[in-house]
Chain A
Amino acid sequence: MLHKLFTFHGGVRPDSRKSDSTQAPIAALPLPAELVVPLHQSIGGTPRPLVRVGDRVLKGERIGAAEGAVSAAVHAPTSGIVKAIEPRTMPHPSGLPASCVVIETDGEERWIEREPVPWKSMKGDELRDFLRDTGIVGLGGATFPSHIKLRPGAKPTHTLVLNGAECEPFITCDDLLMRERAGEIIRGAGIMAQMLAVERVLIGVEDNKPDAIAAMRAAAGDGIEVVAIPTLYPAGGEKQLLRVLTGVEVPAGRRPLDFGLQCFNVGTAYRVARAIDQAEPLISRVVTVAGNVDRPGNFEVLIGTPIDALLAAGRPRPDTDRVLMGGPMMGFALPSTAAPVVKATNCVLAGSPSLLPPPPPEMACIRCGTCAAHCPADLQPFELYWFGRSHNFGKAQEYHLFDCIECGCCSYVCPSHIPLVDYFRFTKGEIWAREREKAAADLARERFEARNERQEREKREKAERLAAKAEATRKKLATTEPTGEAAAASPAEEAKKALIAAALERAKQQKSSVKPRNTDNLPADKQAEIDQIEARRAGAEGRTVEPPETP
């Protein structure tokens, strides 16, 4: 190994269980009768639908246009008729529905017209817009629109990293992709390297995938280095991989681009090559079916295929009690397998009580620090757990809660079986909720203050307007009846003064007639005290009445 490698702190070594699903090549699935294509499949804005119910669509036709600065288009994965545009259950832990384009497939697979893109002669923005409109997003799981990450930063980008680590147990979709389609991955890497004008491309693959490493090395050209990295979960975390390959630690809240680095999944590079060379938008991806199934393997799956249909291809065993999307470390149990495969779906994992046993009862934290010893973000998970439990959210943030990548290493090793990551998700959620509430309250306060100010201003302006008008009238009167002014003003003023004097007199009388209450039948000493107070008060009033003489 010529390339110098770096290490990150902690990590765990779960049994990788990858060999079952790597026996067969990537297989195709029979075309389902119906595809459910969610409009929102990437981070950012929900694409605006471009089709109407009843429309005939072709394979690869854009059905949702990118909306907003961060968004990517979605496409019809095959030809057919738009049956509905309606909310359907999403592959998300919440199981909440979201807007989907439902396509009844016609089995003809009629493509839109396609021709290779002359990307070398295109301007950067043109090319990026093209990738946005072909729906290219990160296929490592985050589904961030790739065209945004391909915009060079303020500082030059020197290294492009491709992530082929695939550190989660069971998942092998990137492994198979690298074995079978290394050439197109390298081609995509070359295109992205040129877009970012980088000096070198590093492709990190965990050393438990020797076949993939060999295939990639055979395909790699000049300036592209395929690096075998030690198998240690979560080496496939973006920040962990960048650390291992380059030694740079990208802190939370900063982007790799700030350090002259950029990172994509190998699957994303493959899709970039397909988009450029075949003008093929992102309408399918490789998905691993593994776990409690009789025929584990990898499948090229059209986006929108019901997970049920995909799972059936793997033949799940009867004792399957749940189905996960993603791996066992960071995946989630699907509320419904009727949900469709989306761009983020890398693995469908059938679970059984023996394969993924229910967690033993949670016990008290003994502060043993095993979690901290395994945390790849160098956090002290048990401290965060205590802070989360006691709702000490400020302290949790001070101890870098938001640097947690939810990789699950801490829960994996905890001797008290505490679901630490659940606590961190809860704490993060609470903090976000509070910040939203605070933002809403701030907004309301600002609105209220603005309203008060506006009302004050309007009052003032009205008064000024009236005063100006009165002035104008007076001037007008003065010019028309100069002699009558003094006579007209003085009787009015006289009357006002008299009124005020009368009011003052009444007030005085009222004051003097007021008797102190509860002063009957007082003991002599109390009476004496009151008398004294009265005397002092009279004195004080007397003083204020007489203005002090100036010396």
Chain B
Amino acid sequence: MSHSPYLRDSRSVRQIMLHVLAALLPGIAAYVWQFGAGILLQLLLASLTAVAAEAAMLKLRGKPIGLYLGDLSAIVTAWLIALSLPPIGPWWMIVVATLCAIVVAKHLYGGLGQNPFNPAMVAFCVMIVAFPSLMSQWPAAGLDLSQQLDLILGGSRPLDAITAATPLDALRTGLRTGGADARVAEIVQGPAFGLIGGSGWEWVAAGFALGGIHLLWQRIISWHLPAAFLLTMALTALLLWGMHPERFASPLLHLASGGTLLAAFFIVTDPVSGATTPKGKLVFAGGAAFIAYMIRSFGNYPDGIAFAVLLMNICVPLIDMYTQPAVFGHKRRSS
């Protein structure tokens, strides 16, 4: 016999995940528009791998396959991996990355709800440590579909003419090779850069922001996470840019480049591996943005969001413990 409450009015996990997938569509559309349809193949490969891996792991663990496969969380992870990895990476790369996420980061830790680390970010970190050169090959604007498919499925690795560095990579390389004479203002005149961020990437970022606003409006994510992430990123960038504008990129470039907006609305907002209290969310997302900026600007990796998120994942139990909100009757409210 069931007990009260006998009424429920909840969005199911499946509905939440459907909203997240829908919110990713504007960003994906911009991606296809700017960089070609290769990303769609990557999304498909990731999704198929994720579903197969999820089903196999659920069977091994003796869990109801249909019920948990239907929650669509594996597809969300798959899409986030595909959107984080270079779209012209060989097919096996996305497969290995997705297996890492679903099998190791998710199910070996106990499946949905139990994983301490963001599965997509675990996959990204494994890939960038294992295949650093493949992870730095991004399509140059105007790369056509047949060339992309050739790169993804053929395995013959490309010439420099058809690949490019990401804007953040271009900036780093420019600053390194230029030595003391390098000026950010000159570097960002290069072909990798557009109006405010990376050429083409600013549109993708705008698409992700649009999806993020949908999630905020639907109350699927709370404002604390994207606000803290974007504000910390912007303020840290502003501080260093204000002191040394010739050595550091502007806050706008940081916001519009790399995975900043994808991370702000879709990565740090993962409920399972993130902080849960309102204050904790601010600390978690702010910390992730700060570490990501530091790795971007002073580290050797083109972007540091994945490492930053994993580092903050470790701190989640501590953050939650120290940011417990006051309970009814145990606080002082203005009255």
Q: Which residues from chain A sit less than 8 Å from chain B, CB to CB?
A: 6, 8-9, 12, 14, 93, 169, 239, 243, 246-252, 254, 324, 326, 328-333, 351, 356-361, 363-370, 372-373, 376-380, 382-383, 399-400, 403, 406, 408, 411-417, 419, 421-422, 425
Contacts and interface: CB of A to CB of B under 8 A. Distances in A.
B2 A359 contact: yes
Contact of B112 (A93, A356, A366, A370): A366
B115 to A, nearest CB: 10
Given A324-B6, A414-B10, A248 B325 contact: no
A366 B271 contact: yes
Contacts of A369: 222, 271, 276
A368 B16 CA distance: 10
A423 to B, nearest CB: 11
Contacts of B16: 368, 415
Q: Which of B7, B68, B325 has the most CB of A within 10 A?
A: B7
B271 A328 contact: no
B12 interface: yes
A331 B3 CA distance: 8
Contacts of B328: 8-9, 239, 243, 249, 251-252, 376-379, 403
Interface string B51-81: 0000000000000100110010100000000
B3 A425 contact: yes
A419 B2 contact: yes
Given A252-B329, A369-B222, A378-B326, 5 more contacts: A249-B328, A356-B7, A370-B10, A415-B12, A417-B12
A383 to B, nearest CB: 8
A367 B327 contact: no
A214 B13 CA distance: 43
B4 A367 contact: no
Would you list the 10 A-B pairs with minimal beta carbon distance, nearest first? A251-B329, A247-B335, A408-B5, A364-B113, A368-B271, A356-B6, A249-B329, A328-B6, A377-B328, A400-B327
Contact of A14 (B9, B64, B331): B9
Contacts of A372: 276-277, 325
B272 interface: yes
A361 B11 CA distance: 14
B12 A169 contact: no
19 contacts: A6-B335, A9-B328, A239-B329, A246-B335, A251-B330, A329-B5, A332-B3, A359-B2, A359-B8, A367-B271, A372-B277, A372-B325, A378-B325, A378-B327, A378-B331, A379-B327, A382-B276, A413-B10, A421-B4
B114 interface: yes
Contacts, number: 148
Q: Which of B320, B325, B326 has the most CB of A within 10 A?
A: B325
Contacts of B271: 366-369
Contacts of A364: 68, 111-114
B8 to A, nearest CB: 6
Contacts of B276: 367, 369, 372, 380, 382-383
Contacts of A326: 4
Given A365-B113, A372-B276, A248 B335 contact: yes
Nearest to B113: A364
Given A415-B12, A417-B10, A332 B4 contact: yes
Interface in B11-25: 11-13, 15-16
Contacts of A416: 12-13, 113
B330 A415 contact: no
A412 to B, nearest CB: 5
Given A367-B276, A417-B12, A399 B324 contact: yes
Nearest to A411: B5
Given A363-B13, A413-B9, A417-B10, A358 B2 contact: yes
A415 B3 contact: no
A328 B329 contact: no
B130 interface: no
Contact of A169 (B7, B272, B335): B7
